[in-house]
Amino acid sequence: MSSKRNVIRAHLDQFLNGNYTVGSPLGFADENPMYNIQRFCESETSTEWTVATNILQALINKCNTVAFPAGTSYRIVATLTDGTVWFDSSRTNTYAGFKAKTINENHNTRRPFMESLLHEDILYPYESKISTSTGLFEERVVMRIGGSKAEPLGCIALSARTPN
């Protein structure tokens, strides 16, 4: 396994275990950030979307602050189970854009997203490729939102981009 893949997984692990204090922009600082993200995926309301996207923006800011190796930048893409992108840190994110499905193209056929949703035994599916959205080489790790493949709520992908 590549060292960059390990670094990306470590960021997600730190986030999931509550070791990254990203707080909550609407005063839910005592709650688990993933709980707020799951709440949005279940309700899809504008208030919950605002909370969830602010948490993901704080996470991407944290990842970029502790970037390794030097020069690495990170990107987060979050989807619902049908592949609808509701957050992409490399794009402009609005609730109206989410509802119109215009934040980014649907990701329901992307291999690591499908693996994350369909396979319990594949923890953090990985891929490296040139992104069709950014045109940059990215190494990506994806995690399922929700407890099991029986009732997934979506996916969060964290990508690392290192200049050549």
In 3-state terms, what secondary structure has residue 36? helix
Hey, what are 44's tokens?
Answer: 């899809």
Number of separate domains in the chain: 1
Q: What's at 19, amino acid-wise?
A: N
- Pairwise pLDDT comparison (36 vs 1), residue with the higher score: 36
Integer Cα distance of 55 and 42 in angstroms: 16
Domain with residue 81: its CATH number is: 3.30.450.20
**pTM to 2 decimal places:** 0.86
Residue 37: closest CA among 18, 10, 11: 18
Integer Cα distance of 108 and 142 in angstroms: 13
Integer Cα distance of 7 and 12 in angstroms: 9
Question: pLDDT tens for residues 36-92?
Answer: 888 899 999 999 999 899 888 888 888 888 766 777 888 999 999 999 999 999 999
* Full residue range of the structural domain in which residue 80 is found: 3-161
